[in-house]
Amino acid sequence: VYPSDRYEADPTQERIKRFPTAIVIGARKGGTRAVLRFVDLHPDVVTSKREPHFFDREYEQGLEWYRHQMPPSLPSQITLEKTPNYLVDWDVPKRVYTFNSSIKLILIVREPISRAVSDYVQLREAFYKQMEYDEERALKNGRLERLPDFEDLAIDPSTGEVDKSYAPVKRSLYSRHLERWLAFFNMSQILILDGDNIRYRPWEEMAKVEKFLGLSHQVKQNCFVFNETKGFFCVKVVDHKKGNGATVQKCLSESKGRVHPHIDPEVRSKLRDFYRPFNKRFFYKVGRTFDWD
């Protein structure tokens, strides 16, 4: 069976919405959409298309609401969701534990500075989108606001040091966030993925996901094609319209793989020094190292 080919509907098996057995908890900009999209190629997996934000924003809606956010699945399939904000929200680990203490968690980390810049670039885009809506008002006030450069936000002007309260900087403090999860969960329940490797050798990270979830090995190298225009791997899926086993390339949306601004080397160096002890602590907790220096 070609991995992306879903099982044909079996009338004896009922497709119903089920709770996830694994959750991708972050990190934001780590490559979370890519992982969910790639694991979705597996015939025994279904994934929620939107981020449900149940444990952080919609908790009051109750568990049935949560289940309803999931796509229907067969009894043989497992359900996955991703909400990267779970990683950094204070209430979430306890709530997830209360929901299912043996749930599997997937955390994708990426070199902390590029993750922070990626986070900034996303916020910048949202900022200017918002500005467009408010342009009339802004013009009336006699000014069109401009978002400061990353460097000016990541460094506190009064001290010249890294501003660790700036959200994109803070969200790359993986050890801090992981520690809150480890108050409830065992490391054996948490799979750590390398977000940088997802970009360059996604099939290697997919093999880890399959093993962790107890799935057969299906999402292999031949499922991916490098798209020169996008500069990223895309996936091959069966083109049901064309038939005859024809395949079509599916890439992630344009918002994935944005151009990053050039970062002042001095600021970069300050950030590297700043993250080093946190990274070390993270490596110790997860029992492996990453080439982030």
Q: Contact positions toward ligand A3P, by CB under 6 A? A: 28-34, 84, 118, 198-199, 232-233, 252, 256-258
Q: Which two tokens stand for residue 255?
A: 């918002």
CB of 239 to ligand A3P, least distance (A): 19
Q: Is 256 annotated as a binding residue?
A: yes
Name the β-bridge partners of 227. 232
Closest of 43, 25, 44 to residue 35, by C-alpha: 25
Choice between 188 and 229, CB closer to ligand A3P: 229
Catalytic residue, candidates 17, 29, 140, 250: 29
CB of 232 to ligand A3P, least distance (A): 3
Q: Is 259 annotated as a binding residue?
A: yes
Choice between 70 and 116, CB closer to ligand A3P: 116
Distance CA 248, CA 166 (A): 41
Q: Is 236 one of the catalytic residues?
A: no
Distance CA 286, CA 284 (A): 6
DSSP 155: B
Name the β-bridge partners of 23. 81, 105
Choice between 45 and 252, CB closer to ligand A3P: 252
Q: Is 48 annotated as a binding residue?
A: no
CB of 123 to ligand A3P, least distance (A): 12
Question: Helix (H, G, I), strand (E, B), or coil: what is residue 277?
Answer: helix
Choice between 29 and 171, CB closer to ligand A3P: 29
DSSP string, 201-268: -HHHHHHHHHHHHT--S---GGGEEEETTTTEEEEEEE-TTT-TT-EEEE---TTSSPPPPP--HHHH
Q: Is 164 annotated as a binding residue?
A: no
Annotated binding site: 29-33, 110, 118, 256-260
Q: Where in the sequence numbering do the catalytic residues fall?
A: 29
Annotated binding site for 3'-phosphoadenylyl sulfate: 29-33, 110, 118, 256-260
